[in-house]
Amino acid sequence: MEAEKRLSQFVSDTRYDALPKGALQATKNVLLNICGTVVAGSTREGCQSVVDQVREWGGKSEATILVHGGRVPAHNAAFANSYMARALDIDDAMFPGMHVGASTVSTALAMAEAIGGCSGKEFLTALVVGHEIAARFNAVTDYVGFDPTGVCTVFGAAAAAGKILRLDPQQMLNTLALAFNKSGGSFQSNVNGALAVRAIQGFSAQGGIISAQLAKQGINGPKQFVEGVYGYLHLYGRDKYNVEAITDQLGRRFIYEGNILFKKHPSCACTEAGTDAILYLMEEKGLTPENVERIDIKVSPIAFNLVGHPFEIGNTPTVNAQFNVRYCVASALLRRGSSLQYFEESRIRDPRISELLKRIYIILDKDLEGVMPLHLKADMTVTTTKGDVYRKAVDYPRGAPGNPMTEEELRKCFQDYVGYGSKALSAENVDQIISMVGRLEEVEDVRALVPLLIV
């Protein structure tokens, strides 16, 4: 049970002063990003229905439904807020596809409200250890169709919730053990363009809070949830990893901070390199929809299975577009860019997109199998109507480790997000959020952030 104890003690015992500057800054970047994505996504498909549902469930007035307003039990507020934060798929991610911040930030804010407030330092510490725990589980998972957001992020949310509840090591062990029993989710939702993609994000936040609250009440979980015969390493690691892979230098080396992906384009990470490639070629070679005869894109097996299928508008056009590299490339070629407005239904149904889709071919490249982070790579070949052939390989899409965005670019993304849609934030609130997140360690009560996120 050594691994389980080390994980729970790391979460319970870690203090703000022991955290490296890089991990703290990365977490501030995640927090700012999620403050933006929850606003941008708040009116997209299913969001109002989720808000209505959690209001109908009722219960104790503990935490705020962001953007829309109203207070509900903490676990249900976190569910709704996580769903909205993931709605446009522009929240942070980590190889090979885990989305963390949408759940951990929603969880931590809801718990801070539920306990009557916590300091900025406590809040940052909870997020850092939560992100690191999720990253550690992500590192020992053999993905064969499991959604890492549902499988791993729930541990991060549980750790963050437990940290804000100030649980002791034994209670924290039970929190993580209970979270293990909430762990799950499938990429089939992404392939089929289902709104369940966003619900899985919410389940992770909701499950994390429930696990921490139950552990505080004395409910225990399996003590060998990592190493046991039916523990995590067997079920999700498929016996390919040892204990050291999850606990190596725990508390001394923070693997999360160097592996975060912030998206330049509002779509699945596996579409980002393809979008970058066509935009690069348009700028370098003067490509237009009129002079492109054919586009061939080589992608990894993971990307091929997740976003390489033929595009269908379906019943949830935005989700289908977000998880289809053909659409993303066609849209970028047609509009000379990639932005949130191009994933609205009216733009997706543009007949010019349908014509461009016929010229785009996705090719599975088995040489990229198991190669991370190069599973996000796209190798594009464009043939023009004149017979010219141009090639562009993108190993690291903009915003990925290896090609990170600057702090200025990240702030610009945040400003774009909070100004998008029918529930945009005021300029005054935007400035206050940027200021507060930047000096969060000085904030006495992080609940001051919540009213700034109500429209």
Query: Above 70 in pLDDT, residue 79?
Result: yes
The predicted structure's pLDDT at residue 142: 87
Question: What is the Rg, in whole angstroms, of the alpha carbon atoms belonging to the chain?
Answer: 21
- The pLDDT of 64-88, averaged and rounded, is 98
Query: Above 80 in pLDDT, residue 369?
Result: no
The predicted structure's pLDDT at residue 144: 82
Query: Above 90 in pLDDT, residue 368?
Result: no
Query: Above 70 in pLDDT, residue 267?
Result: yes
The predicted structure's pLDDT at residue 367: 84
pLDDT in tens, 305-345: 999 999 999 999 999 999 999 999 999 999 999 999 999 99
Q: Give the H/E segment covering residue 431.
A: helix 427-438
- The pLDDT of 250-266, averaged and rounded, is 94
The predicted structure's pLDDT at residue 96: 78
Query: Above 80 in pLDDT, residue 287?
Result: yes
Q: Contact at 8 Å (CB) between 414 and 92? A: no
Mean confidence (pLDDT) of the chain = 95
Cα–Cα distance measured from residue 261 to residue 404, given in angstroms and rounded to the nearest whole number: 8
pLDDT in tens, 80-99: 999 999 999 999 999 878 99
Query: Above 80 in pLDDT, residue 427?
Result: yes
- The pLDDT of 251-275, averaged and rounded, is 94
The predicted structure's pLDDT at residue 285: 97
The predicted structure's pLDDT at residue 376: 87
Cα–Cα distance measured from residue 126 to residue 123, given in angstroms and rounded to the nearest whole number: 5
CB atoms within 10 A of CB 249: 9
Give the CATH superfamily of 2-262+407-453: 2-methylcitrate dehydratase PrpD (1.10.4100.10)
436 or 143: whose pLDDT is higher?
Answer: 436
The predicted structure's pLDDT at residue 157: 98
- The pLDDT of 282-302, averaged and rounded, is 96
Query: Above 80 in pLDDT, residue 371?
Result: no
Query: Above 80 in pLDDT, residue 375?
Result: no
The predicted structure's pLDDT at residue 374: 63
Question: pTM for this structure?
Answer: 0.94
Give the domain 269-394 fold.
60s Ribosomal Protein L30; Chain: A; (3.30.1330)
Do the two domains 2-262+407-453 and 269-394 of this chain adopt the same fold? no
Q: Contact at 8 Å (CB) between 174 and 221? A: yes
Query: Above 70 in pLDDT, residue 377?
Result: yes
The predicted structure's pLDDT at residue 373: 64
Cα–Cα distance measured from residue 297 to residue 363, given in angstroms and rounded to the nearest whole number: 6
Query: Above 80 in pLDDT, residue 372?
Result: no
The predicted structure's pLDDT at residue 1: 63
Q: Half-sphere exposure of residue 164, counting CA atoms within 13 Å on the CB side?
A: 36
User: Considering all CA atoms of the chain, what is the largest pairwise distance in Å, rounded to the nearest integer?
Assistant: 72
- The pLDDT of 206-221, averaged and rounded, is 98
Cα–Cα distance measured from residue 109 to residue 450, given in angstroms and rounded to the nearest whole number: 8
Domain boundaries, the chain: 2-262+407-453, 269-394
pLDDT in tens, 396-422: 999 999 899 999 999 999 999 999 988
373 or 164: whose pLDDT is higher?
Answer: 164
